[in-house]
Amino acid sequence: MSKLLIGYVGIPKLSTMKDEDIKALDVINLAFGHVVDGAVVCDMDEAVPAMEHIRAVNPNLRIVLSVGGWSAGGFSEAAYTAEGRARFADTAVKLVEKYHLDGIDVDWEYPCISIAGIGASPEDKKNFTLLLAETRRALDAIGDRHYTLSIAGGGDGYYTRCTNLGEASQYLDYVQLMSYDLRGGFTVQTGHHTNLYSNQADLSNASTAEGVRLYLEAGVPAEKLIVGVAFYSRMWKGVPDVNHGWMQMAQTTGGYGPDFTELCESYINKNGFVRYWDDEAKAPYLYDGDTFISYDDEQSLTEKVQYVNWQGLGGIMYWEYSSDETGTLMRTLAKAMNKE
C-alpha cells in the first residue's frame, strides 16, 4: 500500500502552495478550526479559491479540516456529555459540507491534561473515544462517500496513558504521531526535539521510535500510524560549550526556534553556527558556542522515511508547510517517498 504524505498548512497560506507540492501530497490538514461553545467553527470563505485551485491541480488530494492545536480548548467540555459530542460532530460535518472538505482531523492537545489554559477532566480518557465515535457516525451519515477522520497525538507516554488508542483506532483512518517537540518548551536541558532514535547518553528516551513503540503497544495498527516530522526548530540559549552544546543545562528553555527557511538563510554553517550530526539518534543540530538548535533536515527526513518503510507504517506528516519556503524538505520527502 502506498504511504501517505500529509502536510499541515495554515489556512491563510493555502494560496502560496506550489503546484509541484500539491501534486506530491496525499492530504492537506487545514490549520485550524476551533471549538467555541461546544461547536466546531472555522471561517474559510477567503480560502475557497485556493482550495479550488488545489483540487484542479490534484483531484485525488484530500483536504481535511484540523480542529484544535496547541492551547486550543473546548474539547473536554464538548466531549463530556452525549449532547455535547453530538453538537461537536454535527457542527464539524456542517463545515465539511459547506466547504466540500474530505474529512476532520482532531488535534486535542491533550486529553486529561489541563496545560496551556485548556480545560481537562479524568473523564477525557473515555470521552475522547466517544467523541471520535460520534464524529465518525456523523461523517458516515453524509452518505455519499467515505470521509476521513484522523487525530494528531502527542509524541510520548503522556498521550497513550490518557487515551484508549486501541479502541479509538477503529473509528480513525489514520493516527498522526506528533514526534516533534519531544524536548523544548518545558526543558532547560538541551536535546533533540524530533530525533528518530534515542542516544544512550541522553537522560530522556523520548524519540520517534519510542513514540511508535508506545502507539503500537496501545493498539494502533501499524498501517494506520503516521510519523510526524518538523519544518521548524527548537532553540536554547546560554548553553555551556561542552559536547557542542548537546545534553547541557541552558539558561533558557528550548522555545520555538527559527523555521527551516531562516535556518537555511542564517544558521546552517553560517554566522558561527556549525551543523553536527548525531548518528545514534539520526538527528542534526547546530551550535555556535552559546546557542543550541535542534531541527530536521534532508538527512534526518530520509532516515525517517526509511524507518516508516521498514516498520510498515502508514506514512509521514509534517508541521508546517510555510515553515520551509525553500521547498527543500518537501522535495526531500517527495523524492524519498516516490511522490515526485
Average pLDDT of span 126-140: 98
Q: List the catalytic residue out of 20, 77, 97, 109.
A: 109
Average pLDDT of span 218-222: 98
Catalytic residue flag (residue 52):
no
Residue 46 burial (C-beta neighbours within 10 Å; 0-12, 13-18, 19+)? exposed
Q: In this predicted model, what pLDDT tens digit does every residue of 155-164 receive, in sequence order?
A: 999 999 999 9
Average pLDDT of span 83-105: 98
Domains annotated on the chain, with CATH: 4-231+296-336 (3.20.20.80)
Whether residue 308 has pLDDT greater than 90: yes
Average pLDDT of span 33-46: 98
Whether residue 340 has pLDDT greater than 90: no
Distance CA(340)–CA(332), nearest Å, equals 10
How much is the pLDDT for 107? Answer: 98
**Share of residues in the chain with pLDDT > 70 (%):** 100
Average pLDDT of span 212-227: 98
Q: Which of 163, 154, 199, 158 is nearest to 181 (CA)?
A: 154
Whether residue 121 has pLDDT greater than 90: yes
How much is the pLDDT for 1? Answer: 66
Three-state SS sequence of the chain: CCCEEEEEEEHHHHHHCCHHHHHHCCEEEEEEEEEECCEEECCCHHHHHHHHHHHHHCCCCEEEEEEECCCCCCHHHHHCCHHHHHHHHHHHHHHHHHCCCCEEEEECCCCCCCCCCCCCCCCHHHHHHHHHHHHHHHHHHHCCCCCEEEEEEECCHHHHHCCCHHHHHHHCCEEEEECCCCCCCCCCECCCCCCCCCCCCCCCCCCHHHHHHHHHHCCCCHHHEEEEEECEEEEECCCCCCHHHCCCECCCCCEEEEEHHHHHHHCCCCCCCEEEEECCCCEEEEECCCCEEECCCHHHHHHHHHHHHHHCCCEEEEECHHHCCCCHHHHHHHHHCCCC
Whether residue 298 has pLDDT greater than 70: yes
Q: What is the dihedral of CA 8, 11, 13, 14, to 10 degrees?
A: 80
| Predicted confidence band of residue 116 (pLDDT cuts 50, 70, 90) | confident
How much is the pLDDT for 290? Answer: 98
Average pLDDT of span 205-225: 98
How much is the pLDDT for 15? Answer: 97
Whether residue 16 has pLDDT greater than 80: yes
